[in-house]
Amino acid sequence: MTIMIEFCQANFSTCSDQVMAKLQSDSVLLDDLGEIEAIEYGCLGNCGQCYIQPFAMVEGSIVAGDTPEELLEEIKAQVKRKQEEDRAWRDLGF
């Protein structure tokens, strides 16, 4: 299962673009996270949050941090939770 991570272009002023670039280029990180796709949109509809803190959406859920480093850690944790949920569903035969 590919995990979708979406970034808001307007949020790049809080340095979330650094996180997206790291997700797209760091092969060690990608091996740790499994199959992900990091994409950028002009707007994710979370107006206001763009100016407050770095954020992204992981499979439709907002993930945020006070710094780009914290955002990356929160994304990694959310991706791992999603992967564990997916494995649990597969183990149940779904």
Residue 30, pLDDT score: 66
How many other C-beta atoms can be found within 10 angstroms of the C-beta atom of residue 8? 22
Mean pLDDT of the residues in the chain: 88
Residue 50, pLDDT score: 79
Dist. CA 35–CA 79, nearest whole Å = 10
Q: Write the pLDDT tens digit of every residue in 50-69.
A: 788 999 999 999 999 999 99
Task: Domain count for the chain, please give it.
Answer: 1
User: Among candidates 32, 48, 50, 31, which has minimal Cα distance to 40?
Assistant: 50
CATH number of domain containing 20: 3.40.30
Q: Which domain holds residue 25?
A: 3-91
pTM for this entry: 0.87
Mean pLDDT to the nearest integer, 38-53: 85
